[in-house]
Amino acid sequence: MRIGVLTGGGDCPGLNAAIRAIVRRGVERHGHTLFGFRDGWRGVLENVHEELTIESTRGILPRGGTILGTSRTNPFKRDDGPERVRRTLAELELDGVVAIGGEDTLGAAERLWREHGVPVVGVPKTIDNDLSATDLTFGFDTAVSVATEAIDRLHTTAESHNRVMVVEVMGRHAGWIALHSGLAGGADVILIPERPFDIDEVCDLVRRRHARGRYFSIVVVAEGAQPREGTLVVREQGTDEFGHVRLGGISQILEREIEQRTGYETRSVVLGHTQRGGSPTAFDRVLATRFGIAAADAVAARRWGTMAALRGTAIELVPLADAVREPKLVPDDLYELAATFFG
Ligand code: F6P
């Protein structure tokens, strides 16, 4: 079989491990010939590709980013998109495509399969861990490790200066990184998009710590966290060229409000893309490798329209439609568990 591979959306640690596994398993077990498209769906639309071989994918397992490049190009944003995808597949005589991505990339893959019969298999990646139908996506564990290390470091300086530190982590619609890094790092308050916050309650938690003789606090906030309606004014934010709201800035608002309301010295830190860069953790390398192998096997079995998923400890194939129907959000009981340690 002749198979295309692409990586789309925001990059994340583990993409190269997945590519390597798809190639290794595909070539050795199934006799596949593989082509890597440049920059996600853009490379498919414009037929920009390179052959992927065992030799060309050697040594990439521990490397962050993606050797194929990535973009947020969505084939459905242009009228002739699906037709161009089909044309590229025909030109290269491809039997199918493995799309490695998050909700946008796999959302496009699902529609291409369902509406246009383009044969696709999905591999779930995103540091946000917000894809449904899989317990975890690769990239998440690395992002949580980076954020936890940062929180540990901020702890010691917060304690030395008796300061409140507001740490902003990624997560537009889902607070998985904030929740896990906050729990692992011993945060005193965690704010996530799923639970609009009340600034007065946040300040009360920080004051309670002071009353107990702890003169510093760590507040971990997901970039998409929002105040409860009517409790605090946040400024309007623009959108990027793909229509995504540009986030970032909530930590500065919290810094100002907490300091003004409590009188405690406060600093904010935005971890930003450091969470997405660099080498994947061992866990993410293994997960990405297992997903890659499952995807190569799914292709060989022509299980189009499916995605490799982690269910418990097993890798299974699930319908792509189940993965992209709605985002996977932090459940209330997990947030309540974390709240045990607030204040
Ligand atoms: O989806 C992954 C992610 O890192 C989000 O957590 C974040 O909101 C977004 O991508 C940032 O996108 P960009 O790299 O385009 O600024």
Which residue, among 199, 202, 218, has the nearest Cα to 268 in the 3D structure?
218
| Shared-domain flag, residues 147 and 129 | no
| Shared-domain flag, residues 25 and 100 | yes
Residues spanned by the domain of 73: 2-139+280-324
| Shared-domain flag, residues 10 and 40 | yes
- Whether 224 lines ligand 1, by a CB cut-off of 6 Å, is no
Mean pLDDT of the chain: 96
- In the numeric block, which tokens belong to residue 7? 């990586």
Q: Tell me how far apart the alpha carbons of residues 17 and 39 are, in angstroms, rounded to a whole number.
A: 17
The answer to whether residue 56 sits within a structural domain is: yes
| Shared-domain flag, residues 72 and 107 | yes
120 Cα to the center of ligand 1, angstroms: 24
- Whether 127 lines ligand 1, by a CB cut-off of 6 Å, is yes
Query: Per-residue pLDDT tens for 285-299?
Result: 999 999 999 999 999
Please tell me the residue having the least CA distance from ligand 1 atom 2: 10
Residue 242 alpha carbon, nearest atom of ligand 1: 15
Residue 241 CA, distance from chain mean position: 19
Question: In this predicted structure, what is the pLDDT of residue 230?
Answer: 82
- Of 277, 312, 335, the one marking the end of a domain is 277
Q: Which residues, given as ranges, of the chain have pLDDT below 50?
A: none
Query: Per-residue pLDDT tens for 209-268?
Result: 999 999 999 999 999 999 998 888 776 667 777 777 665 589 999 999 999 999 999 999
- In the numeric block, which tokens belong to residue 25? 């398993």
Question: Residue 35: which CATH number?
Answer: 3.40.50.450
| Shared-domain flag, residues 144 and 265 | yes
What one-character DSSP code corresponds to residue 280?
Answer: P
DSSP code string of 155-170:
HHHHHHHT-EEEEEE-
- In the numeric block, which tokens belong to residue 202? 């946040």
| Shared-domain flag, residues 54 and 167 | no
Domains identified in the chain, total number: 2
Residue 223 alpha carbon, nearest atom of ligand 1: 8
- Whether 251 lines ligand 1, by a CB cut-off of 6 Å, is no
| Shared-domain flag, residues 135 and 284 | yes
3-state secondary structure of 242: coil
Residue 177 alpha carbon, nearest atom of ligand 1: 6
| Shared-domain flag, residues 261 and 153 | yes
3-state secondary structure of 121: strand
94 Cα to the center of ligand 1, angstroms: 31
User: Which of 137, 172, 245, 271 is the pocket-test mutation for ligand 1 (most atoms within 8 Å of CB)?
Assistant: 172
Please tell me the residue having the least CA distance from ligand 1 atom 14: 10
What one-character DSSP code corresponds to residue 160?
Answer: H
Question: In this predicted structure, what is the pLDDT of residue 107?
Answer: 98
Which positions are annotated as active-site residues?
Answer: 128
Question: In this predicted structure, what is the pLDDT of residue 235?
Answer: 66
